[in-house]
Amino acid sequence: MLMGLERRGPVARVLKVLALSLSLGLAAAWRPAVLQQLPPQRTPGPSPALGGGAADLGLLMAVESGKVSVVPSAPALKQGDVIRAVIANGLERTLYTEDEKTDCSIVFLERSDAGTWHPVPGCALGRLPLVVAIGPGRGRVVTINPLSIHLRMGKPPTAKPAIGAGTYRIRFVYRVGLARGGQEFAALSRSFSIIP
């Protein structure tokens, strides 16, 4: 077919060149690339631990030497505000605790009632608690959301926060060995207020 185009004039010759160029281009595109060298493949190592577990030791942060600190984000919060605190490990050993405490975090929120502290329960994950570690010179930021479904277990759904006005503190319970059932210690935050 291309041979017959030679007798028809210059347009036919241009079409012949285009057809040959297209054929060569397609042939080259299907040829495997030999110029690109791939780096040698490495054997994959272990994946980094994701969010929690004993392999994740927390964030590097300034700590008070010899002390486990629990520092709330503010001395007073409005009702409905998210409660935040920093847990900082100033000890020379790794601390271990479990999640599934208040709002499925690693801390207990406690409310003062006539001078007695009562924990605010609430975690609806329905699984065994996971071990969480905090290494020396490291810490974790914890959050408790007063509108969380975990704090509403057994209560009718409303737009009202599950944590009301009052005086609160945060209690962090930990041990210095990984095995459960070891001696536990507690670090307490200063008290803070939730105001209407």
DSSP assignment string, 119-157: EE------SPPPEEEE-TTEEEEEEE-TT-GGGGTTS--
Within-domain flag for 47: no
Mean pLDDT of 115-128: 91
Within-domain flag for 41: no
Looking at the fold, whether 89 and 29 belong to one and the same domain comes out as: no
Within-domain flag for 43: no
Looking at the fold, whether 4 and 67 belong to one and the same domain comes out as: no
The answer, yes or no, to whether residue 160 has pLDDT greater than 50, is yes
The answer, yes or no, to whether residue 172 has pLDDT greater than 90, is yes
Looking at the fold, whether 99 and 141 belong to one and the same domain comes out as: yes
Q: What is the mean pLDDT of the chain?
A: 80
The answer, yes or no, to whether residue 41 has pLDDT greater than 50, is no
Closest CA to 71 of 196, 193, 187, 194: 187
The answer, yes or no, to whether residue 76 has pLDDT greater than 50, is yes
Domain count within the chain: 2
Mean pLDDT of 137-156: 88
Strand 76-78 and strand 192-195: the pairing is parallel
10 Å CB burial of residue 148 (0-12, 13-18, 19+) is buried
Q: What is the rounded CA–CA span in Å between residue 121 and residue 162?
A: 11
Sign of torsion over alpha carbons 128, 59, 110, 147: negative
* Host domain of residue 13: 1-33
- pLDDT score for 124: 86
Looking at the fold, whether 88 and 155 belong to one and the same domain comes out as: yes
Helix residue ranges, H only, 41-139: none
The amino acid at residue 131 is V
Looking at the fold, whether 4 and 68 belong to one and the same domain comes out as: no
